[in-house]
Structures are given as C-alpha cells and as structure tokens.
Amino acid sequence: MSTYSYKDLILFGEGLKVYFSLARSLTEVLTFKKGRNVRAVDGVNIYLPRNKVTCLVGESGCGKTTLGRSIIGLIRPTEGRIYYKPSKELEELMEKEGVPKREDFYDITDVSGKIYKLLRRELQIVFQDPYGSLNPRMTVKEILEEPLIIHGIGESEDERLEMVIKALTDVKLTPPEEFLNLYPFQLSGGQRQRVNIARALILGAKVVVADEPVSMLDVSIRAEILKLMLDLKENRDLTYLFITHDLAVASIICDYINIMYLGKIVERGPTDEVIKNPKHPYTQALLVAVPQPDPKGRWVIKEVPIKGEVPSAINIPPGCRFHPRCLYAMDICQREEPPEYLVGKDHYSACWLHKEKK
Amino acid sequence: MPLLEVKGLKIYYFTLRGVVKAVDNVSFTLEKGESLAIVGESGSGKSTLGYGLIRLVPPPGRIVEGEIILDGTDLTKLPESRIRREIRWKRISMVFQGALNALNPVKRVGDQIVDAILAHESVTKKEALQRAMELLKAVGIDPRRVNNYPHEFSGGMKQRVVIAMALALNPDIVIADEPTTALDVVVQAQILNLLKKLKQERKMSIILITHDLSLVAELADKVVIMYGGKLVEIGSSDDIYTDPKHPYTKGLMASIPRLGGKKELYWIPGNPPDLRSPPPGCRFHPRCPYAMDICRVKEPPYYNIKDVSVACWLFEEKKSGG
C-alpha cells in the first residue's frame, strides 16, 4: 500500500486489469488452443489525490488510455476495484443502496445503472481529438445542452440555455452568444477543445480524465488550454488524471506522475522527484530521449539507454516486462515480476535493482 | 555558390472561395551538408513550401512567382518531364508526413525501393535489389527483411524504410516533413540520430519541416520561421535560440515546454490568420504585444542584424533611434 494518505485521495484503483480477448482463428479453435488476450492494463494501482493533477505518461500502446477510461467506468476492468469518494448527494444514495464501502470510499466497480448515471456527472473525460469528438452536425449550443437533457437538468429550455452560456463563459469562449449557433467546423482547434472541456464540466464534474487534450493543438496555443484547465481546477475543486506522452508538458503541469510501460506502472511519485531523480531504467531512458531545445544538441548522437522495441501486449515477456530492453537486466528479472520499492518520499519504482541496493 | 537558392517564391492556392497565399515571397539558401528547419504552426505554409521545392504542390495550388535554383538551374522553369527524370528523388527527395501510411501495404518494402531506383536508373532488378538491401542496412534495418511487407514492421522501422526510400538515388537534399510526429520519444530519438549520421557521413543537406522547436534544435544548423505564409525570421540556430528577434519567434521560444524548466505556461494569444484574407500590414500584428500603428498598415521589410534577417518594424525604430 502506498503512503498516500487516504484522506487526500478522491479516487483510486487497485489491482486493475483490463484484458481484451482476441478472436480465435479456426486453427486455434480446432487445436483447442486457449484464446489469447491483449493485456492492456495488467495489474495497476493508481491514486488520484483530490484537487491535484496526476499524470499518466507512456508510449503509444502502453495502456494509458485504457486505464484512464476504466477508472471512470467507461471500460469495465477484468479484475481489480475502483474506489471513489462521491459528493454528499450521491453518497446518501449509495449508502441507501448499500454500495460496498472501504473507509470513506465507495466501490464503484459494479454499480447499478441508476448510480452509474449519477456517477457519470461527477466522473468525466476530455478526449484527445478536438476534431473527432464533437458531432459535426450539432451546434455548440446543442452539444452542450445534450448532457443536460439526458440527465434531466434544467426545467425549461431557457434555463438550460443559461447554463450553456455560463459553461461557455467559464471556458472563456466569450461573448458566449457568438458561439452558440456555430458548428464545430467553424471553430479553431483550441476553441473546439474549450467546447470539449465545457461539455465535461457542465454536469458538475469532480474528476476529469484528460486524454492528451493538447497533443493535436498548435504549440503556440497549447499552454493557453493547459492554463485554462489548471484555473478551472482551482476554481472548481477538480481532480485531473492527465494522460500524455509528453514528459515536458507533464513536468510542468502535474503534481504527481505515473510512468506506464506495457500495462504496468513502473514508476510513480511526485513530479519533481521522478523527473530530477528517476529510478526505473525505463524512466531514465525516456528522459534521455526527450528532445531538448538547445541547438548544441545537433552535434551529438544521443545514446538512449534502451534496446530493442516495445513487445506486443499479447506476448508480454515473463518476469519484469521491461527486461528484454533493459541494459541492467539480471537473472531474476527474467523470472520474477519486481514489486514496487519505496525509493523516496511517495516515490515508487518497480525494479529489482532496488533490492540489490538494500 | 549555395546548393539551393530560393528567391521570392510565391505559391498560391486558387480556391473557389478565394486565393490562399500559402507561401508569399519566401527566400533562403541552403549549402551542401547543411540542415535547415522550416518552422511554423499549422497553416503557416511550411508544408506547401516543402512540396513546392520538388514541384509537387497539389492543385489548385501553383507556383506563381519566384525561383528555385539548384546548382544554377531554375527548377520553376523546367518542364515537368525533366523534373521527374532529373530532379525529383534524384537530386531532391522527400520523407512525407504521416510516413506510416506512405508505404504501399500490398508490396514488399524491397520492391518499393527497387521501383524508385528502376524508374531513374538503367540497372538490372538484381542490382537494384542489392542497393535496396544496402539502404536498409544504412538506416539500421536487417537487410534480410527486404522481402517483408510494411505491416511486419513497427512504426519506427516503417519510418526508417521511408527514409531509406528517400535515399535510394543518393540525392543532394532530403526534405523531411514532420518525420517523427506519429512516433514515440525513444523512436524519435533514434530517427534523429539516423538523420544526424546521414548528414555527417554523407554530407547530405536536410530540410526539416516541423512545428516542434525542440526537435529543430536537435538537427538544424539554420532555422526559417514562417508565419501566415511569410518568412518572418531566418538565421543560424545558435542565433535564433539564444537571441530570437521577431516577436513571434520569441513567443514560440517561450512556449516550448521545457523538461525540468520553469513551471510557467506561456502562449501567444489569438489564432493564426486566415490566409484567404490575411490582416493588412504585418500578418502577426493582431497577436503581437509590440504592435505599432505602422504594423497595421504596412508590411515590414527585412532587416539584417548580423547574420539574422527579420521582418519586423521594431528594428526600423532601433535603426533610426541609433
């Protein structure tokens, strides 16, 4: 268990696994081969401290998006539990329905449809692609009004319109009246992402999973969207799980960082700790690989301390899953999966090297 | 004499909704063995400029004016047949954006490289295949994989194949349009190393087109900053990174997220211009914190400050003010 104090958390998941089963080929069926799985998330603990930005960093295919979606119930985990500390209102209802409890947290892994719908108001997501995540045939007003209608919020259309206008103002799409009747194609990438954020927040979200929200935006406007998200976090007591592949961005905006490799979190801790004092060989390699804005670098061939390529999530190597690529791999790494070692304050690394040092 | 000299190049798209001035009066030079980066946001005209250099601007786009002089020959004047036979791929080749989709999925990678060689040179298929294997080796792929199909390669390896294909005819210049956008950082670092080696060992000139200033610093000797179809600043990367002159360049530099740097967020307020109706005067003035009256009406000329050339009225002030 982590040293995170439970009282600081708003949501956490333990022992999470998400497997996607592959279709068996005819030969596999005839030879009675067992069906194979893509082990997208393969035994992960994740903790979201309240009102903080927690980052999930990893390469494409490491399972970061799947993990992000599973903790807010968009994908049902194959194994593991997700615990959440809901708002007062929802808490009463969960108490009445007898949802299993652990300290102040309710187990939201399996909940009734009624509670799930109410949870959805509090657990939201901002998708990566600002172009694909807005319906091109709906106006901004319709896009933002839809969740209100689905959740039966607002007595009349006028009341809902007021909420939509407020939501647009909150994400600084001003004057809001000018945006109401525009279609997504009439907006810039940055404006679209603001609409996405407004949509995530309009039902009063508490936890927001932001899945690469700025990676498709131009450099000069990325920071503007990030700043908006950070301001909203302060003003509305939001908690973020920020999914990104960009360590530089993560180092600037995150309080805590989780480094994910092939379905596992290999290192986690406070951002400055992890960036300045990385312990896991994979994190060290990632940090070396990040391009630096210093023109002297053009004379140097950079040796990234890693070998080979990412294996498929269908055939995860035994033992430590990083061992085939690790420059420090030992015998034990090929046989046994390393546990998480505490390597600093709240700083964990899952690597056998730390055992040696002890 | 420089290897490549671009003079007053204008490339416009003649769309039904108006003329888009995607590249508007751009000039620069490139020496042998030099790497140049063309940097800009989406819609700045950087890709159009890249395509223009190998005369591949898609219709309704057209080179309207200007010269592209390669070793004394103006490419804008040559007929398409000669460009195809003598210039494209042979002298200047390109690594296309989204290279992961640039390979033919139903053709072995070796055959795809062979095609490029056979189209230009009278060698036997066997010789061409031999060359293809050498090329794969040069980009760090096991030559025995010459008969594999693209789906058998990872993203980074596909990117290497595409680079190998660009090198097939040993060109003087390779244009790389966002060569690493879809790749992860570790693979990106490997591809950058590959490009650095090619530049050092083969004295190849590289034109890198990107929006990522961190990437640029890792490769480019010289940097061209584009904004709204205009070249706003050009200079050596040492000068541009240590002392950016144009307010846009300054803004871009400040908005690079730096690992372990200051935890501050900086951005350039506003949006890039619509090139169908760009703002009058300096195209950057609506977003510029230093905009003056003259910026709104008159386009700035280029001022040369040491080795940097910058299009901004601020430097007129400094000149007259002594």
pLDDT beyond 70 at B319: no
* Residues B75/B83, Cβ–Cβ less than 8 Å: yes
A120 belongs to a structural domain: yes
Residue type, A194: R
Q: Give the CATH number for residue A341.
A: 3.40.50.300
A149 belongs to a structural domain: no
pLDDT tier, B240 (very low <50, low <70, confident <90, very high otherwise):
very high
For chain B, where are the E strands, in sequence order? 4-15, 18-30, 35-39, 61-70, 73-74, 92-95, 173-177, 205-210, 222-227, 230-236, 302-305, 308-311
A279 belongs to a structural domain: yes
Q: Is the ipTM of this complex over 0.95?
A: no
Instruction: Name the residue of chain B whose CA is nearest to A246's CA.
Output: B185
In the 8-state DSSP scheme, what is residue B88? B
Question: A259: closest CA among A71, A49, A54, A20?
Answer: A54
Q: CB B267 to CB A285 under 8 A? A: no
Per DSSP, chain B holds a count of helices (H) and strands (E) of 11, 12
* Residues B309/B53, Cβ–Cβ less than 8 Å: no
- Is the domain spanning B4-91+171-320 CATH 2.40.50.70? The answer is no
A87 belongs to a structural domain: yes
| Number of independent structural domains in chain A | 1
Pairing label, strands B173-177, B4-15: unpaired
CA distance A271 to A252: 9
Structure tokens at A25: 């080929």
A68 belongs to a structural domain: yes
Q: Tell me how many residue pairs between chain A and chain B have CB atoms under 8 A apart.
A: 138
Range of the domain at A196: 6-25+32-137+183-357
Q: What single string gives the DSSP state of each residue in A94-120?
A: HHHHT--EETTEEE-SS--HHHHHHHH
Given A220, A275, A285, which is nearest B186 (Cβ)? A285
Q: CB B260 to CB A294 under 8 A? A: no
Q: What single string gives the DSSP state of each residue in B133-180?
A: HHHHHHTT--GGGGG--GGGS-HHHHHHHHHHHHTTT--SEEEEESTT
Given A220, A246, A253, which is nearest B251 (Cβ)? A220
What pLDDT does residue B171 have?
Answer: 93
Given B197, B252, B267, which is nearest A301 (Cβ)? B197
Structure tokens at B220: 């480019």
Q: Collect all residues of chain B within an 8 Å Cβ-Cβ radius of residue A290.
A: 185, 214, 259
Q: Collect all residues of chain A within an 8 Å Cβ-Cβ radius of residue B157.
A: 309
Q: Collect all residues of chain B within an 8 Å Cβ-Cβ radius of residue A230.
A: 265
Q: CB B186 to CB A286 under 8 A? A: yes
pTM of the model: 0.89
pLDDT per residue rounded down to tens, chain A (358 residues): 445 677 799 999 999 999 998 888 888 888 888 888 889 999 999 999 999 999 999 988 889 999 999 999 999 999 999 999 999 989 999 999 999 998 889 999 999 999 999 999 999 999 988 888 999 999 999 999 999 999 999 889 999 999 999 999 999 998 999 999 999 999 988 999 999 999 999 999 999 999 999 988 888 888 999 999 999 999 999 999 999 989 999 999 999 999 999 999 999 999 999 999 999 999 999 999 999 999 998 888 888 999 888 888 888 999 999 999 999 999 999 999 999 999 999 999 999 999 866 5
Name, in order, each residue with C-beta under 8 angstroms of B55's C-beta and a sequence gap of 6 or more.
B63, B75, B76, B80, B83, B87, B88
